[in-house]
Structure 1
Amino acid sequence: MRVIDLSSPVDASGWEPDPVVHRIMTPAEGARHMAEEMKAHFDVDFDPADLPGGELLSLDTLTLTSHTGTHVDAPSHYGSVGAYGRPRDIDEMPLDWFLRPGVVLDVTDVGVGVIGAERIEKEIERIGYTPAPLDIVLLHTGASRHVGTPRYFTDFAGLDGPATDLLLDLGVRVIGTDAWSLDAPFGHMIAAYKETGDDSVLWPAHFAGRRREYCQVERLDRLADLPGSHGFRVACFPVKIKGAGAGWTRAVALVDE
């Protein structure tokens, strides 16, 4: 079995609208910290110099949102009320949603803007495979080439409402994208709303989750490395954060050889 990493990193050196803070305590600093904590809490004296090389363990402390890097959005992220009942948090989602056959749809030709239902139908016809219930559908938009730069947050394409419903009507419950959002860029949506006055153009993919329970996987990477449009599995288990609207994932494709 070949394992293909589909995840983008949590990288404090990359550009983020909500900057990542990554503090590293070195093994030597960890030794001194441990000695101080042992003395403060247990009145135990310990000399860090007694450790090999004067080192204990490193420790990383990060400040970031649950939407940094590749992550899974839970229904509670989309709103506080669902037409189907209380939207579930990420720790409440069924794990069997996140290890399923995968289908990748190539929509790189769309560029920046909206991916409509007609474009999804055309791609499904091209690959000759209709996603089955609980298949994980991945949208290859090409946006991941901008990871770590401001363009990643502005230059991508996202689903409109009918396109989202088309996939949900097929029984899909997890939709992924290599873009920052499953919706179109903010600027594109706001411009469309100001021009038309139609509020259905505002976050239609996310707000579909208020009507129908499903999850999104955002900020995927390397979808071009997949061996075909289907015939592989996707594993994207979210981190179990109690009461959270999203959780990070190390998403991978599993390809039998």
Structure 2
Amino acid sequence: MTSTRQLWDISAPIHHSSPVYPGDTPYRQVWTASIGPQCPVNVSTIEMSPHIGTHADAPLHYDAQGAAMGGVDLAAYIGPCRVIHAIACGPLIQWQHIAHAITPDLPARVLLRTYAQAPQHWDDQLTGFAPHTIERLADLGVQLIGIDTASIDPASSQTLDSHMLVRARNMRVLENLVLDAVPEGDYELIALPLKLMQADASPVRAVLRSL
């Protein structure tokens, strides 16, 4: 007898009122064809920033010479991961906020939950990563970090210290995850970006599966 592995959808819904970084392009959808006597299908055109909703940052986002999303190896976006709760920890995730979940068998992917409930509007007080936390995770072999906020840096940051550290350590980033219903623990992550050959980011349909 085979048991069914539980699945968690950790993707944010995308629609016209989805939160967007101030100045980015919001989600817009226009119907260019509609089912009717002269047309058998619905067809739409979508315009949006690739940073809306749950998304992967490409190196091009924070490195002028970095790879666009379509050129990034997919291996980091699928495999064992650990979800760690650091709910309401303040403006930056410090090492002490996650140390309780760090063990010798830490997977190469770590996702952080900071919200008790994912916000429905832009949060200019979002929690980011302290750079030294990223540094220590990288030293432990972590290749991908994810977070349930819109950025791994504070919204007001002009230097993007955590993004710069991710660049230096050749790590990958997922942002705007929805981890409200996910207990701490280990899972399989599947969060593949689109093969956008010139884009600085890509939407992902991120899911977790029980091991």
Amino acid at match of 2:135: D
State, as a whole percentage, how many aligned pairs show the same letter: 26
Which residue is 2:53 aligned to? 69
How does the TM-score come out when normalised to structure 2?
0.87
Amino acid at match of 1:179: T
Pick from 28, 31, 38: which aligns with 1:24?
Answer: 31
Report the Cα distance in structure 2 between the residues aligned to 1:77 and 1:244, rounded to whole angstroms: 8
The answer to whether the Cα contact below 8 Å between 2:70 and 2:196 also exists between their aligned partners in 1 is yes
Report the Cα distance in structure 1 between the residues aligned to 2:177 and 2:169, rounded to whole angstroms: 23
Pick from 100, 104, 118: which aligns with 1:145?
Answer: 118
Which residue is 2:12 aligned to? 8
Report the Cα distance in structure 1 between the residues aligned to 2:161 and 2:18, rounded to whole angstroms: 28
2:69 maps to 1:90: yes
2:198 maps to 1:225: no
The answer to whether the Cα contact below 8 Å between 1:144 and 1:220 also exists between their aligned partners in 2 is no
Shift of the 185–15 alpha-carbon distance from structure 1 to 2, 3 Å rule, reads closer
The answer to whether the Cα contact below 8 Å between 1:124 and 1:130 also exists between their aligned partners in 2 is no
The answer to whether the Cα contact below 8 Å between 2:16 and 2:27 also exists between their aligned partners in 1 is yes
Report the Cα distance in structure 2 between the residues aligned to 1:56 and 1:227, rounded to whole angstroms: 45
Per-residue deviation, residues 202-242 of structure 1 (Å, max 9, x unmatched)? 32111113312111100010x23224411x10000101100
Cα displacement (A) at 1:138: 0.3
Amino acid at match of 2:16: A
How does the TM-score come out when normalised to structure 1?
0.72
Amino acid at match of 1:60: S
Where do 4+ consecutive residues of structure 1 move more than 6 Å?
none
Shift of the 204–172 alpha-carbon distance from structure 1 to 2, 3 Å rule, reads same
Amino acid at match of 1:255: S
Aligned alpha-carbon RMSD (Å): 2.1
Per-residue deviation, residues 116-154 of structure 1 (Å, max 9, x unmatched)? 23333x2325xx56523xx2110101175213x13x3x1
Pick from 121, 126, 132: which aligns with 1:156?
Answer: 126
Which residue is 2:140 aligned to? 170
Report the Cα distance in structure 2 between the residues aligned to 1:234 and 1:68, rounded to whole angstroms: 20
Shift of the 13–185 alpha-carbon distance from structure 1 to 2, 3 Å rule, reads closer
Report the Cα distance in structure 1 between the residues aligned to 2:18 and 2:192, rounded to whole angstroms: 24
Shift of the 227–117 alpha-carbon distance from structure 1 to 2, 3 Å rule, reads closer
Q: Which has the higher helix share?
A: 1
Which residue is 2:149 aligned to? 179
Which residue is 1:42 aligned to? none
Unaligned runs of 5+ in 2: none
Cα displacement (A) at 1:26: 4.9
Amino acid at match of 1:224: D
Report the Cα distance in structure 1 between the residues aligned to 2:129 and 2:109, rounded to whole angstroms: 15
Unaligned runs of 5+ in 1: 32-48, 82-86, 191-201
Work out which of the two has the higher radius of gyration on C-alpha atoms and give 1 or 2. 1
2:88 maps to 1:115: no
Shift of the 73–156 alpha-carbon distance from structure 1 to 2, 3 Å rule, reads same
Give the length in aligned residue pairs: 204
Amino acid at match of 1:57: V
Shift of the 160–227 alpha-carbon distance from structure 1 to 2, 3 Å rule, reads closer
